Structure 1
Amino acid sequence: MKIALTGLLAAATLALGAHGAAAQTNLKWAHVYETSEPFHTESVWAAGEIEKRTEGRYHIDLFPASQLGKETDINQGLKLGTVDIIISGSSFAAREYAPIGVTYYPYAFRNADHLIAYTKSDVFKRLAKGYEDASGNHITAVSYYGERHTSSNKPIKTCADMQGLKIRVPDVPAYLAMPRACGANTAPIAFAEVYLALQNGTVEAQENPLTTIEAKKFFEVQKHIALTGHIVDHLNTVVSAPVWAALSDADKAVFTEVMQEASARTAKIIVEREAALVTGFRDRGLTVTEVDKADFEKTVNEKTKPEDFGYVSADLEAIRAIR
């Protein structure tokens, strides 16, 4: 009987141990940004906080710098189950639900504060719900990515200066509006390949926030930066449909709270860096030019409209009206 009892206790201990091991869910969080960027550093912080606040029930591994594929790949990975959480732009979410892409339409936002106000608005809630209904994936947070400016191998002061310019833009509709309205020739080169394309002359220009120009070292292969500020950019933190559905309400609240805290931390870092980078790039010998934004915006509004790219003008006007 003692032997039998000992065996039963051992079996129970093993079962408990197996159950304890299974209680931890391992998740993969992927993005295309460098480990030096706040999108990564604050995601690492968030992963640790989620594990801590869920008492170890969720462990999240980070895969930065396109380790699990380009941005298109990781968005597809949400469907395939190869990734559970991603950081990605609304331009990619728009492939599932086109209207949400209007947030990348040129001059939709005035500045970072306007973008943050949008994330708390009914317009955002409606567009995010449309994306979730279409994809099943849930947007937990929105991070300020920075104002997108144009770097090139020639000076740019007006929209007309971009006539014939070979410029890399992401292969998504909203990014095409400004360069095409200004007469540039756009090339959809993958993000990971932009540096080489600039270096070997495949393209003459690209557009990204100053923080990205620094992180990706585009300043090494470009001579000029025009502060076009044509898009006040942002990134969504997105949880896959199966993972979000499996979370309890309490855990959903933890994921949301932590990821929004991480987004706020990211925004603070980026705003501070942007303020210093204009001087920093000039110190490196680049020409940094204030452009006539009104000229760019007027040209875009005259030559394009949101519907040309699958968006809704009423959504754009509602966003622009947010104060």
Structure 2
Amino acid sequence: MKRMFIKTLVAAVALAAFGGAYAQTKTIKFANQNAKGHPIILGMEKFAEIVEAKSGGKMKVNVFPGGALGSDQANVSALQGGTLEMASMNSGIFANVVKDFAIYDFPFLFGNPKEADAVVDGPFGKSLHAKLEEKGMHGLAYYELGFRQITNSKRPITKVEDIAGLKLRVIPNPINVDWVSALGANPTPMPFPELYAALEQKAVDGQENPYATINGAKFYEVQKHLAITNHQYNPQSVVISKKFWDSLSADEKKIVQDAATESAKYQREQSRSAAAGILDNLKKNGMQVTELPPAEVAKLREKMAPVIAKHSASVGDATVKAVMAELDKVRK
């Protein structure tokens, strides 16, 4: 009888231990709009690899590319509600919940990747992510989408006037609608997963995105002309649901934060090293590429200046001054 009791006790302890280990296993859904193989997805896959290694398999990350879990706007709602654990998206999209994030969509804010890195990795970038806390999200790091270019199916763009009249898809937020309007084009806000079909059906003439996104989404199949404008640089916020973040232990939080930081460095390296090869691939797939000369870029800046002034007022002087102070440091 005693032996039977001991066996039962041992079995119960083992079961409890197994159940406890199972309960500690956490699964993270990590969403993004870009196609598999895109530098953003490579960064997310590196994050998954690091988290699983550092946690000894107790934390598992499932990466969902291609808008599989809905649009960016749907992902924001899911993060806030705790039904989605993580997402990476254009930082400017968060302007819908924290107005300061609109600064990241200012045309010609960053002149090169070094300037962008200094801002997003420094006090300014961290302070903006901190403002997401009260909106149900926690910012971990910044990936990059990169510098945006304009494509269309109608005509080559060799001067600013060539943009006028084009119906261009834009990220659904006010500053993007305004700068496209300022160029005499017709802005059409639209979630990214709907874009390819809209281009194919000629519902819109064109769009604007970095090389890697144009290539990954195979827009070369439905767009003939690409103009190198570098009119906007997109940092990508790597964000975790605050509900999920608060459920993690201190050790688990460190694993997730360290993995986000490490994968951000890896992701930017992948993005930048691949850019030239991706542009070559777009050309091989039939895209006709033009580059605006300096005089036309100056005209582009001039036309966008009133848009920047308008949105500087809505974003707030303190935010604009803070980002410009960071940029002044790196430019000196």
Same-fold call, TM cutoff 0.5: yes
Aligned residue for 2:191?
Answer: 190
Equivalent position of 1:4 in the other structure: 5
TM-score between the two structures when normalised by the length of structure 2: 0.91
SS of 1:305's partner is helix
Matches within 5 A, 1:171-320: 171-291=172-292, 292-307=296-311, 310-320=314-324
Identity among equivalent positions (%) equals 26
Aligned twin of 2:139: 139
Distance in 2 between residues matched to 1:303 and 1:64, nearest whole Å: 33
CA distance in 2, matches of 1:189, 1:50: 33
CA distance in 2, matches of 1:306, 1:259: 34
Counterpart residue type for residue 103 of structure 1: Y
1:25 counterpart residue number: 26
Confirm or deny: 8 A CA contact 1:108 1:316 kept in the other structure: no
Pairwise CA distance, 1:204: 0.6
Aligned residue for 1:167, secondary structure, equals strand
Structure 1 CA distance for aligned equivalents of residues 26 and 116 of structure 2 = 34
CA distance in structure 2 between the partners assigned to 1:162 and 1:96 by the alignment: 31
Q: Say if 1:308 and 1:320 are closer, same or farther in 2 by CA, change over 3 A.
A: closer
Rounded to whole Å, the distance in 2 between the matches of 1:190 and 1:309 is 27
Kept in 1: contact 2:33–2:68 (CA 8 A): yes
Partner SS, residue 225 of structure 1 = strand
Deviations 1:64-104 (A, max 9, x none): 21221111111111122221011112222222111112111
Shift of 1:45: 2.3
Q: Give the Cα separation in 1 of the matches to 2:23 and 2:107.
A: 48
**Structure 2: which 5+ runs fail to align?**
none
Superposed displacement of residue 317, structure 1: 4.7
Q: Secondary structure at the match of 1:106?
A: coil
Alpha-carbon shift at residue 228 of structure 1 (Å): 1.4
Q: Which runs of 5+ in 1 are unaligned?
A: none
| Backbone CA RMSD of aligned residues | 1.9
C-alpha deviation, 1:126, in angstroms:
2.2
Question: Do 2:33 and 2:67's aligned partners in 1 also have CA atoms closer than 8 Å?
Answer: yes
Amino acid at match of 2:260: M
Counterparts of 2:121 and 2:161 in 1: how far apart (Å)? 36
**CA shift for structure 1 position 257:** 1.7
* Aligned CA distance change for structure 1 residues 303 and 25 (closer, same or farther; 3 Å): closer
Name the CA distance, whole Å, in 2 between partners of 1:317 and 1:241: 29
Aligned counterparts of 1:224 and 1:309: Cα–Cα separation in 2: 35
Count of aligned positions: 322
Distance 1:311 1:267 in 2: 27
Q: Please say which of residues 40-49 and 229-238 is displaced more in the overlay.
A: 40-49
Asked if the contact 2:177–2:188 (Cα under 8 Å) also holds between the matched residues in 1, the reply is: no
